[in-house]
Structure 1
Amino acid sequence: MLLLISGLGDENTKLEFGQIYEKNYRTMYYVALKILKNKEEAEDAVHGAFVKLAEKYDTYRHLTSQEMTSLCVIIVKNKCLDMLRVSKSGLQSDLEKVDYALHDEKDQPLENVIQEEGEKELLEAMKILPEKLRLVLELRYFHEYSNGEIAKILDISKKNVEIRLYRAKKKMKEVLQYERERQEI
Structure 2
Amino acid sequence: MSTDEQLVKKILTGQTECFREIVSRYEKKVWAIAYKVSKSEKDAEDIAQDVFLQVYKSIHVFREESSFSTWIYRIAMNKALDWKRRYERKAAYDVNGEFGHTADKIQLLPEQKLLKQLEQEELLSIMNKLPDKYCHVIKLYYFNEYSYQEISNELGIAVKTVETRLYRAKGLMRKYFGKEEELR
TM-score tier after normalising by the smaller chain length: 0.3 to 0.5
TM-score, normalised to structure 2, is 0.39
Which structure has the highest helix share of the two?
Answer: 1
